[in-house]
A and B are shown apart, each in its own frame.
Chain A
Amino acid sequence: MTTVPISAAADRRVPPLGGFNLTFLGLEIRRLLRNRRTVIFTLILPAAFFFMFGSGQTDPAARAYVLVSLGVYGAMIATTSGGAMVSIERAQGWSRQLRLTPLRPVAYIAIKVITAMVLGLASVVVDFAIGAAVGVHLTATQWIVCGLVAWLGALVFAAFGLFAGYLLPSENVMQILGPVLALLAFAGGLFVPLQFLDPTVQSLAKMTPAYGVGELARIPLTHDALGWAPVLNIVVWLGLFVVGAALLFRRDTRRV
């Protein structure tokens, strides 16, 4: 019997969307949720912090401040973890395995960012649900706008996670990033309002990457005018992390 090459007649196509697809996205989200540490830090810890520092506050405005700030904090841990998954995958050699498939690098990054943002959304939703359940009263607009800003602002940290992931090829990248994020959250006024800090420290703290998102997310509570400082903060940090991640990513794909 003669053997005909198996795929002689097969249709050889390149995948649409560079390999981006919902099966891949679903499995990535499942993987992230399988990681107990990620779940604890993104879904449980912000809520626990709220019980420790927020729900006991007598001033409703202070409770709302803490709740929204912790929403931002949870979202930033979630999106950083999602972005930093690239580090684990590089350390385990999975990115080399993926290079044997038609997956385009851009589609891979898109999957990572979307996965990170899904987890970020879950974190904000859990935090807000607990806040609502224990008596934080906000208007519908406040809930939605605060939540959306906290969530979308966390894109800065998805980019930060990618940047850190390409910078540190390590399976334990979040053990390094966890304390860094706590420090950034503190400097960004997510744990303690910056007014309580020394003026010099305050002006430095306003330049750190969590400050912009935190300020912006709380505007619906304070009814402050939309200042340029937080917006500029977000734009600059997002730009820096995206460019940094892109440069490292190009170095990475070119590497032997």
Chain B
Amino acid sequence: MQTATLRTAAPSTDAVRLDGLVKHFGSGDRQVTAVDGVDLAVRPGEIVAFLGPNGAGKTTTIDMMLGFSTPDAGTVQILGGTPADAVAQGRIAAVLQTGGLLKDLTVAETVRLTASLFPTARPVEEVLGRAGIADIAGRRVGSCSGGQQQRLRFALALLPDPDLLLLDEPTTGMDVEGRRDFWAAIRADAGRGRTVLFATHYLEEADEYADRIVLVRRGRIVADGTPAYVKSLAAGRTVRATLPDADQVALLSAPGVTSVEVRGDTVLLRTADSDATARFLLTRTPAHDLEVTAHSLEDAFIALTTDTTSTGSLR
């Protein structure tokens, strides 16, 4: 057991701090805003899922956290310093979607080479074991499967024993088994108190492995909270009731309600908390014939991340 040699400055420092982050690509009429004012603070030890559809700006944000690209506006702080310092000191590591590996080296050689670049690195055997690839140490990288290569990238990321680990769509292209093995390795490791931020477009992955989900859409954060909270937003329910002469404005301020639609004597309330909404309808209004319908998680997630008319920022 480690003796608690706590650094005095560390506990108050966010692992990641993004303020007003903006990044454009292209120019003129064809300019695309990939990241559009992202504010985010990740505390040490959190496991955060950066959840959003493809093109939401996840990779662009991660690139800026690593110092691969510079923001057009806003600031990035990693562990209280610049991304470049964090990389140079081995305090941040990443498993990238695009980071290539040399096909002509073996798995163990790749780890040995990368280890040699850090002033202090975990032993090669240890990271191979923790990434679950000790059995293929002698295999050429070129003949490893996509999942094995991804776990090799994970092993490389473990070498500097980073305080912060970024994973960009780490399981893309893996089969179900590969995905499960990969997350088992990550989960075993995260138990050690590392801060982990992973980008994904799989809701289940975020739900299962994160303490906190940050939902991004079109370069903005649209929701941020525990998986249960975000799921409640994403899952949403519709409460349908018969209520003549409904007061739309009053209904909109009812608990949980995010939108109101009136069709004759019927009202349709989209709600994040169907119990509270139903209770409100039954106790405070003459509504009757209540009907609660749940949306599938996946449908609702898609609605939340693509529907431009949803209720703005939910943060």
Contact = CB atoms under 8 A, between A and B. Distances in A.
Interface string B51-79: 00000000000010010110000000000
Contact of A5 (B10, B93, B100, B115): B10
Q: Which of B5, B113, B114, B163 has the most CB of A within 10 A?
A: B113
A6 B98 contact: no
A3 B45 contact: yes
B116 interface: yes
Contacts of A7: 91, 161-163
B120 A35 contact: no
Contacts of B117: 15, 19, 21, 24, 98, 101-103
B192 interface: yes
B188 interface: no
Given A15-B118, A21-B116, A100-B99, A5 B89 contact: no
A97 B100 contact: yes
A8 B10 contact: yes
Interface in B1-20: 2, 4-7, 10
Contacts of A15: 117-119
B28 interface: no
Contacts of B179: none
B102 A11 contact: no
B105 interface: yes
Nearest to A100: B94
A103 B115 CA distance: 11
Given A15-B117, A100-B96, A102-B88, A27 B109 contact: yes
**Most chain A CB within a 10 A radius of its CB, from B117, B163, B191:** B117
B244 interface: no
A96 B63 CA distance: 11
A94 B91 contact: no
A101 B156 CA distance: 10
Central interface residue in A5, A7, A14, by most chain B CB within 10 Å = A5
A202 B138 CA distance: 53
B236 interface: no
A256 interface: yes
A179 interface: no
B68 A99 contact: yes
Contacts of B7: 8-9
A6 B104 CA distance: 33
Residue picked from B44, B87, B90, B163, most chain A C-beta under 10 Å: B90
B64 to A, nearest CB: 10
A21 B119 CA distance: 10
Given A27-B113, A97-B100, A5 B193 contact: yes
Nearest to B67: A99
B194 A5 contact: yes
A13 B66 contact: no
A204 interface: no
A35 B102 CA distance: 12
B132 to A, nearest CB: 19
A92 B194 contact: no
Given A99-B68, A100-B93, A101-B118, A6 B161 contact: yes
Nearest to B1: A1
Contacts of B114: 101
A27 B162 contact: no
Interface string B32-48: 00000000000011000
B101 interface: yes
A62 B309 CA distance: 84
Interface string A27-42: 1001100110000000
A94 B100 CA distance: 4
Contact of B105 (A8, A21, A31, A100): A31
B139 interface: no
A223 interface: no
Nearest to B112: A23
Contacts of A102: 87-90, 117-119
14 contacts: A7-B163, A12-B91, A13-B119, A21-B117, A93-B101, A94-B99, A95-B100, A96-B99, A97-B99, A97-B101, A101-B114, A101-B117, A102-B87, A102-B118
| The 7 nearest A-B residue pairs measured at CB | A93-B100, A3-B193, A23-B116, A92-B100, A97-B99, A12-B89, A101-B117
Given A14-B89, A14-B119, 16 more contacts: A4-B193, A6-B194, A7-B161, A15-B119, A16-B119, A24-B113, A92-B103, A93-B99, A94-B100, A94-B101, A97-B99, A97-B153, A99-B87, A101-B87, A101-B90, A101-B114
